Structure formats: structure tokens, C-alpha cells
Structure 1
Amino acid sequence: MKQEFEEGKVASTAEEELQAVKAAMEEERQKLTELGK
């Protein structure tokens, strides 16, 4: 039972990390756009 919980936890963490990475990339793109103006 504990292992199932761990696997589910890892999956949600990976999803959150993916969202965080996408957000960070978007922020970087915004900064570059601002600098380019």
C-alpha cells in the first residue's frame, strides 16, 4: 500500500515539476522579449 502511494506521489510531483519548468521557460522568454524591445 505504501508503494502505491509513493508511485502516485512521484507521478504528481513529476507533473508539478513539468508545469514549473514550463512556467520558468515562459518567464525567461518574457524577459528576453522585454530586453529585445
Structure 2
Amino acid sequence: NPKRTRFRKQHRGRMKGISYRGTRICFGRYALQALEPAWIT
């Protein structure tokens, strides 16, 4: 159980960073708005 939770947490953080950086450059201002709600969710 602890192993799975740890992996899930790491994966979530990694996805956030990559998505934020890539989307921000691609969309720009729109990326921030779309990512904001996605981050919380």
C-alpha cells in the first residue's frame, strides 16, 4: 500500500510540472487558466 501511494504522489507531481511547463509555452495565458482548475482537481 505505501509503495503504491508513494508512486501515485510522485506521478501526480511529475505530470503537473510537465503539463504546466509544456502547456504554458504552447497555450500561454490560456494554459494557466485551464491548468489552475486541473491542479486543484
Runs of 4+ in 1 over 3 A off after TM superposition: none
Count of equivalent residues: 27
Aligned to 2:11: 13
Q: Which has the larger radius of gyration?
A: 1
- TM-score between the two structures when normalised by the length of structure 1: 0.61
Alpha carbon RMSD of aligned pairs, Å? 0.9
Aligned to 2:39: none
- Offset, 1:21: 0.7
Q: Percent identity?
A: 0
Greater length-normalized contact order (CA 8 Å, ≥ 6 residues apart): 2
Letter in 1 for 2:16: L
Structure 2 segments unaligned to the other structure (5+ residues): 29-41
